[in-house]
Amino acid sequence: MTYDSDKGWPAPGWSLGFGKMMYMGGTGGCMLVTSDGTRRSYDGTSTVYSGGTYYSSYYSGHTTDGSFIDFTCNYSSSTYGTAFSGTATLANGTTITYSSPTSTYDQAFPTQITDAQGNYINISYRFNAGPEISSITDTLGRVISFNYLKNGRLISITGAGI
């Protein structure tokens, strides 16, 4: 039995945020997880390269659950570090850019969401690693800030006029 295998935030069993992309291994590609925790079934093509201390996995896929989401992800690792990022395009034209990996590099969180008309929100994370959101900024420059205690507990969310 594993406790909090989803690494819930702000507490075990919770999912406050915009979803995430999970790295499923070199031939497994990546899976999209929605903001409510739903895992999207998927299929696609994986390309893996390995040479010396360098390893890279590129995946191009699409969901198979009727949500019509196309996505890509790239995982790379070398003696210089590890990185995981990706993008997803929803059926309505919305594009989600994933980066800001966790310390284990098996999850990436949305850093920008752009709709078909070019409106966007930028999401930044505490210590540049998800899932703890630091702030959200929209196209007009409005900012919503998430405030934490020193022990990492979320204590308030503030925004202009809120």
pLDDT, tens digit (0-9, with 9 covering 90-100), for 91-104: 999 999 998 666 56
pLDDT in tens, 9-40: 667 777 667 889 998 887 788 999 888 888 89
Give mean pLDDT, residues 50-70. 93
The CA–CA distances, whole Å, from 37 to 30, 76, 88, 110, 131 equal 15, 26, 17, 14, 13
pLDDT category at 153 given cuts 50, 70, 90 is confident
Measured between alpha carbons, how far is 17 from 121 in angstroms, rounded to an integer?
13
Q: Which residue type sits at 26?
A: G
The model scores a pTM over 0.95:
no
**pLDDT of 151:** 85
> Which range, of 43-52, 63-72, 96-105, averages the lowest pLDDT?
96-105
* Mean pLDDT of all residues in 62-90: 92
